[in-house]
Amino acid sequence: MSGRLVALARLLIVVLLAGGVAGCVTRDMNDLERYVAEVKSRKQGEIEPLPEIKQIETFAYKEDNRRNPFQPTEQERTEEQNLQQNGLAPDPNRRKEELEAYSLDSLRMVGTLKRDETTWALVRTKDKTIYRVKAGNYMGHNHGQITHIGENDIELTEIIPNGQGGYRERQASLALKE
């Protein structure tokens, strides 16, 4: 008896679903046709014309006892050699420290500690890890060496490329964030 009820229930569900789907189908598409006609009758937008391209005057370079603009002058060469030979360069053999994997702007000084005669700074990374550093440690992408730790800031000396094949020093600092 219960098998008949299950079969009857299934048949009833199928009939109701078929009736529901059939009720959703309509052949009347007047509203859609009216909308398409209205959209087609709208005034078309105008596209601005492309700006006029100005012709650039060409210049034929003739040496005529002029210097080659693509070769540095003797003075520029001397300055470049002096900059390259100033002896300032990051140590490629030095083992990188943990905080050198982070840019300075992603690090935050969160406090200081003093033990014996050494002042330590507490630095937090973006992933909320706190590191303890002291003068002489390195941090940041530009070979920044800590030169001084104050109560409110950490002072660093970074070694950055000077754009001419050499390096120069730049002062940076990391302030205490409350």
Predicted confidence band of residue 25 (pLDDT cuts 50, 70, 90): low
C-alpha to C-alpha distance for 166 and 178, rounded to whole angstroms = 38
Where in the sequence is the domain holding 160, given as residue range(s)? 98-175
Q: Is 7 helix (H, G, I), strand (E, B) or coil?
A: helix
Whether 61 maps to a domain, the answer reads: no
Q: Is 84 helix (H, G, I), strand (E, B) or coil?
A: helix
* pTM summary value: 0.52
C-alpha to C-alpha distance for 81 and 87, rounded to whole angstroms = 11
Whether 133 maps to a domain, the answer reads: yes
Quick one: average pLDDT of 124-153? 92
Whether 1 maps to a domain, the answer reads: no
Instruction: Name residue 159's amino acid.
Output: I
Whether 93 maps to a domain, the answer reads: no
Whether 163 maps to a domain, the answer reads: yes
Whether 124 maps to a domain, the answer reads: yes
Quick one: average pLDDT of 126-155? 92
Whether 37 maps to a domain, the answer reads: no
Whether 105 maps to a domain, the answer reads: yes
Instruction: Tell me how many domains the chain contains.
Output: 1
Predicted confidence band of residue 84 (pLDDT cuts 50, 70, 90): low
Residue whose entry in the numeric block shows the structure tokens 């210097």? 67
CATH of the domain at 168: 2.30.30.830
- The neighbour count for residue 104, using CB atoms within 10 Å, is 17
Burial class (CB in 10 A: 0-12, 13-18, 19+), 71: exposed
- pLDDT for position 8: 84
Comparing CA positions, the residue from 132, 156, 133 lying closest to residue 145 is 156
Comparing CA positions, the residue from 53, 70, 79 lying closest to residue 168 is 79
